[in-house]
């Protein structure tokens, strides 16, 4: 199938990954419909996407599912990237679970052929490791299970990715770190900072999404979405400093203090666990499966840091 003949709806299209997906796929000639909350539409229209506004994708009841069905009818695929952060852990898990189920149910009812989404790299360790046994990973595990059920029920094919950390000039962490290093502001690191991440460049992620849209070779599979380098969080900060030629100031704080100051960090307890989970994946399998040479981390960060104002 040609990319230019595809119609794709993206939920969570105003987030970091969603914005990049909408822009990349629209540039490839795909008919992109961005599903966003109110006041987010202008941003997506400028990227070349059609925009559909859903007030609250995590609302309970049939109305929101009906709204989503109307959006999804005629779409070849849904890329589901909605993520709702909340400092209340019960509300956090509940709302994300409802949002996931609403989108899956609507996609099935609309006759969508393929469903692509991001899960979590620690799902495989759920129940076996403290940092991955929480509401975040429970919600992601349920998402995966619901998609398998949907395939058995309606034949809607799925591709599930378990990302480590997707990096880009407007990602959730890197711009803040770069700005703090440049301004000589101390960077607070939770615990010893030795927990590893495996960053993957957002441009590589977009290429992979595009291949999944074009081909059925990757259907009904789960992939680790990870970059070519495993690096501790504190070494990631130091690498950024090396690239912009500034020495970062790092201060270490206990996890319990970080939890007390979660609003300052912008992370709830589950999200702190995700950061500290030390989960890594199989980048060689990802490269082999998609026949793609992943961008080296240093090269990605050089590009990113040069674009951050």
Pair (178, 78) in one structural domain: no
3-state class of 268 per DSSP? coil
177: its two tokens = 């770190």
When pLDDT is averaged across residues 134-140 and rounded to a whole number, the result is 97
Q: What is the pLDDT of residue 4?
A: 62
The answer to whether residue 118 scores a pLDDT higher than 60 is yes
The answer to whether residue 95 scores a pLDDT higher than 80 is yes
Q: What is the pLDDT of residue 84?
A: 95
- DSSP H or E stretch at residue 50: strand 50-53
The count of residues in the chain is: 309
- DSSP H or E stretch at residue 204: helix 202-214
Q: Is there a domain that residue 259 lies in? A: yes
Q: Is there a domain that residue 277 lies in? A: yes
Pair (256, 207) in one structural domain: no
When pLDDT is averaged across residues 152-181 and rounded to a whole number, the result is 95
* 272 neighbors 133 (Cβ within 8 angstroms): no
Pair (53, 98) in one structural domain: yes
Pair (187, 118) in one structural domain: no
Tens digit of pLDDT for each residue in 85-94? 999 999 999 9
Q: Which of 66, 140, 129 is nearest to 103 (CA)?
A: 66
Question: Which of 3-7, 153-157, 167-171, 301-305 has the lowest average pLDDT?
Answer: 3-7
Whole-model pTM: value is: 0.95
The answer to whether residue 181 scores a pLDDT higher than 70 is yes
Which of residues 225, 241, 266 is at a domain's end? 225
Largest CA distance in the chain: 55
The answer to whether residue 222 scores a pLDDT higher than 70 is yes
Percent of the chain with pLDDT over 90: 87
Q: What is the pLDDT of residue 2?
A: 58
Secondary structure, 3-state, 67-83: HHHHHHCCCCEEEECCC
Q: What is the pLDDT of residue 263?
A: 86
Q: CATH code at 189?
A: 3.90.25.10
Pair (127, 186) in one structural domain: no
The answer to whether residue 214 scores a pLDDT higher than 80 is yes
Pair (159, 257) in one structural domain: no
The answer to whether residue 1 scores a pLDDT higher than 60 is no
Pair (112, 239) in one structural domain: no
Average pLDDT of the chain, as a whole number: 94
Pair (207, 274) in one structural domain: no
Please count the structural domains in the chain. 2
Domain of 237 in residue numbering reads as 168-198+229-281+295-307
Q: Is there a domain that residue 96 lies in? A: yes
Q: Is there a domain that residue 289 lies in? A: no
Q: Is there a domain that residue 62 lies in? A: yes
The answer to whether residue 51 scores a pLDDT higher than 90 is no
When pLDDT is averaged across residues 140-169 and rounded to a whole number, the result is 97
Q: Is there a domain that residue 286 lies in? A: no
Q: Is there a domain that residue 288 lies in? A: no
Tens digit of pLDDT for each residue in 263-308? 888 899 999 999 999 999 999 999 999 999 999 999 999 988 877 6
110: its two tokens = 């609309």
The answer to whether residue 227 scores a pLDDT higher than 70 is yes
Pair (244, 155) in one structural domain: no
The answer to whether residue 52 scores a pLDDT higher than 80 is yes
Q: Is there a domain that residue 290 lies in? A: no
Q: CA 99 to CA 17: how far, in whole Å? A: 17
Is the Cα torsion angle 64, 65, 66, 67 positive or negative in sign? positive
Percent of the chain with pLDDT over 70: 98
Pair (127, 190) in one structural domain: no
Pair (214, 238) in one structural domain: no
Q: CATH code at 144?
A: 3.40.50.720
The answer to whether residue 45 scores a pLDDT higher than 80 is no
Pair (204, 242) in one structural domain: no
């Amino acid at each position: 199938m040609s990319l230019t003949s595809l119609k794709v709806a993206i939920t969570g299209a105003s987030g970091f990954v969603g914005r990049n997906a909408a822009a990349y796929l629209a540039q490839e000639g795909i008919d992109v419909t961005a599903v966003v909350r109110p006041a987010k539409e202008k941003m997506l229209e400028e990227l070349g996407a059609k925009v559909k506004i859903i007030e609250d994708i995590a609302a309970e009841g049939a109305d929101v599912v009906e709204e989503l069905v109307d959006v999804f009818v005629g779409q070849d695929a849904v890329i589901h990237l909605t993520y709702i952060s909340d400092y209340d852990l019960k509300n956090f898990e509940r709302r994300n679970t409802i949002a996931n189920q609403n989108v899956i149910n609507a996609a099935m009812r609309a006759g969508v052929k393929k469903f692509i989404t991001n899960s979590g790299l620690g799902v495989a360790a759920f129940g076996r490791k403290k940092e991955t046994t929480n509401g975040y990973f429970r919600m992601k595990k349920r998402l995966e299970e619901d998609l398998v059920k949907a395939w058995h029920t309606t034949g809607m094919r799925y591709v599930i990715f378990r990302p480590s950390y997707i990096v880009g000039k407007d990602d959730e962490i890197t711009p803040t770190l770069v700005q703090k290093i440049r301004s000589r502001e101390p960077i607070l690191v939770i615990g010893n900072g030795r927990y590893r991440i495996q960053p993957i460049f957002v441009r590589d992620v977009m290429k992979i999404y595009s291949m999944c849209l074009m081909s059925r070779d990757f259907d009904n599979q789960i992939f680790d979405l990870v970059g070519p380098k495993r690096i501790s969080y504190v070494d990631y900060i130091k690498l950024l400093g090396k690239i912009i030629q500034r020495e970062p100031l790092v201060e270490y704080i206990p996890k319990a203090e970080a939890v007390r100051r979660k609003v300052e960090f912008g992370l709830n307890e589950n999200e702190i666990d995700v950061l500290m989970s030390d989960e890594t994946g199989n980048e060689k399998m990802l490269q082999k499966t998609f026949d793609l040479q992943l961008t080296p981390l240093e090269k990605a960060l050089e590009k990113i840091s040069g674009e951050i104002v």
